[in-house]
Amino acid sequence: MKKLFLILAAACVMAAGCTGTSTSTAVEASTGTLKVEGLCGMCKTRIEKAAQEVAGVTRAEWDNETKMLALEFDSAKTGIETISKAVAEVGHDTEKDKADDLVYHDLPDCCKYREPSEHMEHMDHQM
């Protein structure tokens, strides 16, 4: 009886190992860039956070000089268009989407890239 129990237990362990399902899925890694308007460190933080909150985005890094957002994402979960819309929703124009005017006007003065003269005046006051 003990022998039969051990054989059945071994058979169950082997069957569980053979028929176990895997929940891992293939990641379709993609990279891309997106031009995004902004001016300062606060813009950088806001742009990168908006992009990174999109499901499937694994890296988002915005360069203030080039205005380019470098992206790495799972193309099975998202794409440049979705990321662009997410960034525009927080007030930053992209090469694909324009931010809503009300959202844009709620940005801090130093982030208002559409009015460069206001930005420069703001910078002059800080010096």
> pLDDT tens digits, residue range 50-94?
999 999 999 999 999 999 999 999 999 999 999 999 999 999 999
The CATH number assigned to the domain holding 97 equals 3.30.70.100
Q: Would 66 be classed as within a structural domain?
A: yes
The whole domain housing 71 covers 29-120
Q: Would 18 be classed as within a structural domain?
A: no
- Is the CB of residue 63 less than 8 Å from the CB of residue 47? no
Alpha-carbon separation of residue 119 from 44, 73, 116 (angstroms): 16, 33, 5
Query: What is the total count of domains within the chain?
Result: 1
Q: Would 2 be classed as within a structural domain?
A: no
Q: Would 104 be classed as within a structural domain?
A: yes
**76 phi-psi bin (left φ>0, alpha ψ -120 to 50, beta other):** alpha
Q: Would 92 be classed as within a structural domain?
A: yes
Q: For the whole model, what pTM was predicted?
A: 0.73
Q: Would 116 be classed as within a structural domain?
A: yes
Cα 91–93–96 angle (5° rounding)?
A: 130
Q: Would 12 be classed as within a structural domain?
A: no
Tell me the mean pLDDT in the region 96-125.
Answer: 82
Q: Find the DSSP H helices in 1-115.
A: 2-19, 41-52, 80-89, 101-105
